[in-house]
């Protein structure tokens, strides 16, 4: 699988076809044959652009709905995230791509569809084509490992803030990696890290967000999932939402690295099911108790019979629900 990017000639075709232009004139301006012009138009149509073809020539009628670099970059005012931007129509998992090579920090890998979208512990992430956001960012934070949980909480925090700014809906963070709206999951984060000398050397941060998925498209996870569009009652502009999210992610990441952002305090305020009775399951134990909040390093504090238990990994579910995720 190779990332797809428009070249200079493709961009010129998009510019020149804003008004009707004949194939002959296009060929002349671009210095290519008419057959080559036709091929370009075909390629652009495969990438989601729509042209009218008539005696008057070609006219660009609709821009691509895809999160192509040339569609998102003009909306993006980041310094780091997206400097390297890889777009795929279909990919196994954007995290797989992020782990494959030594990409520079800030690389964004985005796909319209994933055939093997993953959650934690080998679970599946439903990734319906062109309806969600499925992307990974490559970071090299050089943080000591005792900050790994705070680093992980940074991403649900940034997603939550962006949803709130963009839609006025109030989402909550379900510790440690989910975003919930009205009791249902709208987004999840999967972070895969490389540790060296007790430092995070590389983190591939995979983010999945149900943006415009319908109830039918959410069928495999219908009991627990929702989408932004379902909650907002209207379709969401994926390109603008994505650009805003990348900007917020960058700002918050930089503030966190410079010790200017208290992630734990912020997540504590947005914590789902605070005060409610839950089950927490990690590799070693299952505890049923009330959520008290987060401890200073971002661990989850549960109270059971007046005694406090702390968790650093695991899954939380409401006691009245049966499923664990």
* Interface ranges with ligand BT5 (CB under 6 A): 93-95, 114, 117-121, 123-126, 134-136, 177-178, 185, 188-190, 206-208, 210, 221, 224-225, 325
Report, in Å, the least distance between residue 270 CB and ligand BT5.
17
* Beta strands, E only, the chain: 50-54, 57-62, 85-91, 108-114, 133-139, 172-174, 178-181, 184-196, 199-209, 277-281, 286-294, 300-304, 307-311, 315-318
Nearer to ligand BT5, 94 or 268 (CB): 94
Give the residue with the Cβ less far from ligand BT5, 37 or 110.
Answer: 110
**Of 5, 3, 1, 31, residue with least CA distance to 16:** 31
- C-alpha closest to that of 201 among 138, 120, 265: 138
Residue nearest to ligand BT5 (CB): 188
Question: Is the Cβ of residue 37 or residue 157 nearer to ligand BT5 in the bound state?
Answer: 157
**Nearer CB in complex with ligand BT5: 10/231:** 231
The distance of closest approach from Cβ of residue 229 to ligand BT5 in the complex, given in angstroms and rounded to an integer, is 13
Degrees (nearest 5) of the Cα angle 253, 70, 8? 135
Q: Which is nearer to ligand BT5, 75 or 126 (CB)?
A: 126
Rounded Cα distance, 226 and 223, in Å: 9
Nearest to ligand BT5 of 14, 230 (CB atom):
230
Residue 103 is given by DSSP the state P
Q: How far is the CB of 173 from ligand BT5 (least distance, A)?
A: 12
Strand 85-91, strand 108-114: pairing? parallel
What is the rounded distance in angstroms from the CA atom of residue 263 to the CA atom of residue 246? 17
Q: How far is the CB of 122 from ligand BT5 (least distance, A)?
A: 8
Question: Closest approach of Cβ 115 to ligand BT5, in Å?
Answer: 10
- Comparing CB distances to ligand BT5, the nearer of 189 and 243 is 189
C-beta neighbour count of 297 within 10 angstroms: 14
CB of 143 to ligand BT5, least distance (A): 21
Separation of alpha carbons 75 and 51, rounded Å: 23
Q: How far apart are CA 285 and CA 282, in angstroms?
A: 6
The Cα 314–Cα 29 span in angstroms is 60
- Minimum CB separation of residue 73 from ligand BT5 in Å reads 20
């Amino acid at each position: 699988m190779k990332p797809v990017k428009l070249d200079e000639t493709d961009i010129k075709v998009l510019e020149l076809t804003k008004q009707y232009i004949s194939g002959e004139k296009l060929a002349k301006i671009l210095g290519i044959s008419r057959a080559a012009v036709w091929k370009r138009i075909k390629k652009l149509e495969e990438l989601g652009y729509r042209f009218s073809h008539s005696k008057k020539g070609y006219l660009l009628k609709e821009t691509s709905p895809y999160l192509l670099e040339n569609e998102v970059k003009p909306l993006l005012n980041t310094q780091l995230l997206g400097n390297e931007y890889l777009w795929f129509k279909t990919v196994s998992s954007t995290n797989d791509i992020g782990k494959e090579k030594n990409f520079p920090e800030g690389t964004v890998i985005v796909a319209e569809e994933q055939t093997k979208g993953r959650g934690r512990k080998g679970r599946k992430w439903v990734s319906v084509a062109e309806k969600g956001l499925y992307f990974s960012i490559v970071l090299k934070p050089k943080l000591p490992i005792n900050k790994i949980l705070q680093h992980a909480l940074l991403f649900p925090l940034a997603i939550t803030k962006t949803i709130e700014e963009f839609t006025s809906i109030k989402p909550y963070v379900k510790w440690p990696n989910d975003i919930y709206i009205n009791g249902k999951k709208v987004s999840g984060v999967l972070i895969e890290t490389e540790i060296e000398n007790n430092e995070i050397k590389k983190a591939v941060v995979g983010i999945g967000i149900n943006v415009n998925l319908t109830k039918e498209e959410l069928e495999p996870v219908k009991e627990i999932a929702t989408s932004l569009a379902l909650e907002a009652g209207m379709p969401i502009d994926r390109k603008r939402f994505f650009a805003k999210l990348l900007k917020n992610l960058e700002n918050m990441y930089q503030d966190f690295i410079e010790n200017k952002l208290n992630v734990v305090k912020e997540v504590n305020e947005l914590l789902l099911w605070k005060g409610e009775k839950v089950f927490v399951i990690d590799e070693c134990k299952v505890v049923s108790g009330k959520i008290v909040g987060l401890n200073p390093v971002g661990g989850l504090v549960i109270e059971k019979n007046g005694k406090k238990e702390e968790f650093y990994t695991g899954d939380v579910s409401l006691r009245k629900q049966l499923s664990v995720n």
